[in-house]
């Protein structure tokens, strides 16, 4: 079941990659909110394909679309992952409205595992300026079930299986071992997310 934290205004912008999580979020929020899709093109082949898909989807469903395009050069000392994320968030922060992401509980677990190795043990925050993450208590499988039930269109990003990227390495190489050692880790992190709800303020 998709579970949303906090209250959102009627008009929302949804950060969308074209993947199952963000497209299920678009479909879910469209039931009670006026949604504008936000897409940032990283100027890669995969991002260009997602751009084409999202343009098609917005035309099909008459959903407003706000586009951002990468237009700077990556500093040599910055990894592609970090660079793309920084530029993407600059785009989101330039929007004068709440921008909703599809970050879910599985993302929170992966972030906690990785950050714990660096001594911080933090979860993904509910809010970063105007960027809101109200689905941290939802499992990825719930987004997948919603997409299947509602016949939601989405695209698969092949780079999600490339373990050269840190997040993918954590997901595909580390997490299976973490779950063997601690199969209840999602419940543990879900409690942290629940506790964090007490500091969540309505975005209205």
Closest alpha carbon to 14 in 103, 75, 90: 103
pTM here?
0.86
The verdict on residue 53 lying in a domain is yes
The verdict on residue 44 lying in a domain is yes
Beta-sheet pairing, 127-128 with 34-41: unpaired
Domain holding 58, by residue range, is: 11-199
Contacts of 164 (CB under 8 A, 6+ apart): none
CA angle 28, 34, 38 (to 5 degrees): 80
- Using one digit for the tens of pLDDT, what is the confidence trace for 31-86? 999 999 999 999 988 899 999 999 999 999 999 999 999 988 888 888 888 898 99
Segment 83-110, tens digit of pLDDT = 989 999 999 999 999 999 999 999 999 8
* Residue 204 within a domain: no
Q: Report if residue 106 sits inside a domain.
A: yes
Query: Taking Cα atoms as reference points, which of 52, 4, 9, 53 lies closest to residue 25?
Result: 4
Alpha carbon distance 69, 27 (integer Å): 24
3 in any annotated domain: no
Question: Any idea what the CATH number is for the domain that residue 118 is in?
Answer: 3.40.50.620
Residue 46 maps to a domain: yes
Query: How many whole angstroms separate alpha carbon 68 and alpha carbon 42?
Result: 9
Closest CA to 5 of 113, 125, 146: 125
Residue 6 lies inside a defined structural domain of this protein: no
Number of domains in the chain: 1
With respect to residue 1, please indicate whether it lies within any of the assigned structural domains: no
The reported pLDDT for the residue numbered 204 is 41
Pairing mode, if any, of strands 131-132 and 127-128?
A: antiparallel
């Amino acid at each position: 079941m998709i579970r949303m934290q906090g209250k959102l205004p009627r008009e929302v912008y949804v950060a969308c990659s074209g993947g199952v999580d963000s497209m299920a979020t678009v479909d879910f929020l469209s039931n009670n909110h006026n949604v504008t899709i936000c897409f940032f093109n990283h100027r890669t082949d995969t991002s260009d394909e997602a751009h084409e898909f999202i343009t098609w989807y917005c035309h099909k469903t008459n959903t407003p679309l706000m586009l951002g395009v990468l237009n700077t050069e990556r500093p040599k000392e910055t990894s592609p992952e970090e660079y793309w994320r920084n530029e993407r968030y600059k785009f989101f922060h330039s929007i004068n409205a709440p921008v909703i992401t599809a970050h879910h509980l599985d993302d929170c677990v992966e972030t906690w595992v990785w950050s714990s190795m660096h001594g911080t043990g933090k979860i993904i925050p509910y809010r970063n300026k105007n960027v809101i993450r109200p689905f941290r208590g939802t499992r990825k499988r719930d987004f997948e079930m919603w997409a299947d039930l509602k016949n939601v269109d989405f695209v698969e990003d092949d780079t999600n299986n490339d373990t050269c990227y840190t997040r993918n390495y954590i997901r595909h190489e580390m997490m299976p071992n973490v779950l063997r050692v601690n199969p209840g880790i999602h419940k543990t992190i879900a409690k942290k997310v629940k506790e964090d709800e007490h500091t969540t303020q309505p975005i209205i």
